[in-house]
């Protein structure tokens, strides 16, 4: 049952400075540093935090000898405060767009594969019709991107929803899955080998995404399922320029969607190893927040992404 006292506080007394302080406390884990970032004195920041905790009836931060640590209630408030401030920024941006025509800034996050094809195509189409819209693109893992989306730092994401807690707050429009192949440089010695086994490949150098990503987990499971040790010579990165440079300049191999490196294969720089890796990823798609009204610029990019996805994958929403 909701506490009426907390309701009255939220509706009548909660100020923007409370929200700013929460976000800065989450970022700095220090009342002093958060106060400085929020242009407050330390006593004022402590008073605001005390007001919040008193109104809600729960501790938001654990006071430590050095700094503070959010409780589980504090984590919720930090995330919601960030989203609320992002909504206010979006409202201001939308008003400005209505005054001046479609412009403003759109922040989109993408996992690696669509960042190399789908997203640039959609942005090109958007800029052709709405040149004033500024687009900021972040490439990272789904876990990090979804967290930033929930906090209001991103308008939309091309990625995957990996946990049920996030799913309850988000919309997901599936686009395609990602069959992976092993990619090597053109002229790689393994291209001439017949009867390759996973045990043979375990001795090679591998370029892998960092631990915690779906692909890394499934590569690990693949070796374990065949009783093999993980490759010992590895480089961890999700940067396509770094991956392509390493592949063309060394004998390392990388599990990648062919779509992502097709241009390198077409120009003869890279080749696909004749080995069936047997890995398919969960479908990635367009992710947005429920009950959140996108700005006109973000809405235009969303529709352009849908159109570009239809052209690539035959997915129409």
User: SS3 for 174?
Assistant: strand
Rounded Cα distance, 99 and 252, in Å: 54
Rounded Cα distance, 126 and 141, in Å: 24
User: SS3 for 177?
Assistant: coil
Which has the higher per-residue pLDDT, 258 or 316?
A: 258
Q: 4-79: what fold? A: Arc Repressor Mutant, subunit A (1.10.10)
Residues 143-184: pLDDT tens digits?
899 999 998 899 999 999 988 888 888 999 999 877 789 999
Which residue has tokens 């991107």? 145
Residues 177/203, Cβ–Cβ less than 8 Å: no
Residues 260/134, Cβ–Cβ less than 8 Å: no
Specify the pLDDT at position 12: 62
Whether the full predicted model's pTM is greater than 0.85, yes or no, is no
CA 5, 7, 8, 10 dihedral sign is positive
| Kind of pairing between the strands at 68-70 and 61-63 | antiparallel
CA distances 8 to 11, 14, 292, Å, are 5, 9, 24
Establish whether domains 101-177+283-313 and 180-272 are of one fold: yes
Specify the pLDDT at position 85: 87
| DSSP at 229 | P
Domains of the chain: which residue ranges?
A: 4-79, 101-177+283-313, 180-272
CATH of domain 180-272: 3.40.190.10
Which has the higher per-residue pLDDT, 83 or 90?
A: 83
Rounded Cα distance, 135 and 187, in Å: 39
Confidence at 316, pLDDT banded by 50, 70, 90:
very low
CA 12, distance to chain mean position in Å, is 35
Confidence at 101, pLDDT banded by 50, 70, 90:
low
b/e map 124-147, b = 16+ CB within 10 Å: ebbeeebeebebeeebbbbbebbb
User: SS3 for 66?
Assistant: coil
Q: How many CB atoms lie within 10 A of CB 24?
A: 23
Instruction: Compute the average pLDDT of residues 270-284.
Output: 86
Tokens found for residue 7: 């309701």
Residue 13 pLDDT greater than 90, yes or no: no
Q: 101-177+283-313: what fold? A: D-Maltodextrin-Binding Protein; domain 2 (3.40.190)
């Amino acid at each position: 049952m909701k506490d009426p006292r907390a309701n009255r506080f939220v509706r009548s007394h909660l100020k923007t400075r409370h929200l700013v302080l929460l976000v800065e406390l989450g970022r700095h884990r220090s009342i002093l540093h958060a106060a400085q970032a929020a242009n407050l004195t330390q006593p004022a920041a402590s008073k605001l935090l005390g007001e919040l905790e008193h109104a809600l009836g729960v501790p938001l931060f654990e006071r430590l000898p050095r700094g503070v640590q959010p409780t589980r209630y504090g984590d919720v408030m930090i995330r919601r405060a960030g989203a609320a401030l992002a909504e206010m920024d979006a409202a201001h941006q939308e008003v400005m767009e209505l005054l001046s025509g479609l412009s403003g800034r759109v922040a989109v996050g993408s996992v690696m594969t669509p960042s190399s094809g789908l997203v640039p195509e959609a942005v090109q189409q958007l800029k052709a019709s709405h040149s004033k819209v500024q687009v900021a693109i972040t490439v990272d893992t789904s876990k990090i991107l979804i967290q930033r989306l929930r906090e209001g730092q991103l308008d939309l994401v091309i990625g995957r929803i990996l946990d049920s807690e996030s799913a309850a707050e988000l919309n997901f429009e599936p686009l395609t899955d990602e069959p992976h192949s092993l990619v090597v440089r053109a002229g790689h010695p393994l291209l001439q080998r017949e009867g390759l086994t996973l045990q043979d490949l375990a001795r090679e150098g591998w370029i892998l995404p960092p631990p915690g990503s779906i692909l890394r987990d499934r590569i690990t499971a693949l070796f374990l399922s065949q009783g093999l040790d993980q490759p010992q010579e590895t480089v961890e990165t999700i940067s396509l320029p770094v991956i392509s440079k390493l592949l063309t300049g060394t004998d390392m191999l990388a599990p990648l969607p062919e779509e992502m490196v097709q241009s390198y294969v077409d120009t003869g720089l890279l080749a696909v190893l004749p080995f069936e890796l047997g890995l398919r990823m969960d479908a990635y798609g367009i992710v947005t927040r429920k009950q959140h009204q996108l700005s006109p610029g973000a809405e235009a990019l969303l529709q352009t992404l849908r159109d570009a996805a239809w052209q690539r994958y035959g997915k129409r929403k």
